[in-house]
């Protein structure tokens, strides 16, 4: 059995169930309540044009109250295995980024699989980035200091958005913050993964998530890097990156390899690995010191990149 981080020992009791249609429907039906941002943070909904032929995209924008001069921003993309999730699930940490860094955070809502197949989610998030830049003056955002970040599936989508931005040349993100990102559909095809050694997001869940998003069996030869960023051959010219992942995470190997390839391509990349941490540990154990420190690492990386 794996050795769990001392703060996360009770994680060994988390059952290794796999997501499917019924679980996804149940999770999607749950209604999250927005947090009270307090007087120091202003929250509003902003609608921007979506991809060509697709619906508009909504951004939930968090800003320091009374922001008077252009400041950096973070486009945040929520996780949920590409099949579920909402910006509200990350409201606690998004508010913390605003308060601690004095930046704007814009959390994007994107189409979920299997209702929309790849690369719909990435295109929606990219449209959110373009829309944010278009409204930069109104929002008092410095368009040269916008990071793109996300956790899990959101981290994979953040990497995809960075690729889209690089290739299209319309906007230029300053940084990519990839929190245990879901990058490579080929992980589904691995036969050497012991399911007893992972928690929260299992091989079965990964197969369901990728199959739902791709609309086909994962691992095939024709998967776009805008769907699975690890498929990208040339990673040169991308913005600096921060990648954080636990050693018990199903995505550990693919994240380590992506960081290695970024570094080999000349992209400044900070890689953080948390021994004995599993997928989503920081969201489940918010009060544990290792979870707090994991967030502080992200905040320090953003501060250094955007200031």
Helix (H) or strand (E) holding 165: helix 153-168
84, 279, 282, 291: the catalytic one is 279
Residue 157 has φ and ψ, to the nearest 5°, of -65, -35
Rg of the Cα trace of the chain?
18
Q: CA–CA distance from 3 to each of 6, 75, 86, 197, 200 (Å)?
A: 9, 35, 32, 9, 16
Q: Do 250 and 256 touch, CB atoms closer than 8 A?
A: no
Other CB atoms within a 10 A radius of the CB of residue 6 amount to 11
Question: What is the DSSP code (8-state) at residue 117?
Answer: -
Q: Do 261 and 254 touch, CB atoms closer than 8 A?
A: no
7, 184, 185, 249: the catalytic one is 249
Is 279 a catalytic site residue? yes
7, 84, 124, 152: the catalytic one is 152
Q: Which are the contacts of 143, defined by CB distance < 8 A and separation ≥ 6?
A: 133, 136, 171
| 194: exposed, middle or buried (Cβ count in 10 Å: 0-12, 13-18, 19+) | exposed
Beta strands in 65-202 (DSSP E): 71-77, 104-108, 141-151, 175-179
Alpha carbon distance 10, 5 (integer Å):
10
Residue 60 has φ and ψ, to the nearest 5°, of -95, 110
Catalytic residues: 152, 249, 279
């Amino acid at each position: 059995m794996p050795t769990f981080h001392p703060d996360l020992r009770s994680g060994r009791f988390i059952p290794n169930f796999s997501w499917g249609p019924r679980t996804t429907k149940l999770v999607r039906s749950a209604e999250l309540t927005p947090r009270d941002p307090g007087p120091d943070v202003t929250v509003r909904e902003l609608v921007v044009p979506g991809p060509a032929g697709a619906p508009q995209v909504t951004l939930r924008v968090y800003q320091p109250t009374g922001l008077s001069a252009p400041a950096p921003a973070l486009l945040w993309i929520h996780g949920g295995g590409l099949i579920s999730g909402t910006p509200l699930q990350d409201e606690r940490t998004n508010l913390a980024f605003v308060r601690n860094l004095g930046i704007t955070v814009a959390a994007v809502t994107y189409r979920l699989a299997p209702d929309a197949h790849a690369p719909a989610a990435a295109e929606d998030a990219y449209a959110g980035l373009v829309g944010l830049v278009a409204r930069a003056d109104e929002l008092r955002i410095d368009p040269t200091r916008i990071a793109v970040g996300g956790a899990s599936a959101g981290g994979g989508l953040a990497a995809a958005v960075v690729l889209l931005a690089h290739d299209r040349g319309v906007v230029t993100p300053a940084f990519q913050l990839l929190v245990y990102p879901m990058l490579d559909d080929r992980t589904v095809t691995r036969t050497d993964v012991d399911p007893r050694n992972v928690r929260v997001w299992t091989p079965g869940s990964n197969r369901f998530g990728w199959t739902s998003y791709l609309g086909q069996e994962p691992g095939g030869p024709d998967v776009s890097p805008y769907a699975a960023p690890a498929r990208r051959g040339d990673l040169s010219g991308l913005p600096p990156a921060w990648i954080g992942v636990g050693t018990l995470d199903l995505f550990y190997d693919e994240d380590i390899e992506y960081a290695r390839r970024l570094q080999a391509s000349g992209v400044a990349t900070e890689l953080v690995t948390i021994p004995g941490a599993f997928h989503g540990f920081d969201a489940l154990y918010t009060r544990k010191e290792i979870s707090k420190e994991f967030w502080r690492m992200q905040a320090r990386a953003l501060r250094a990149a955007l200031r």
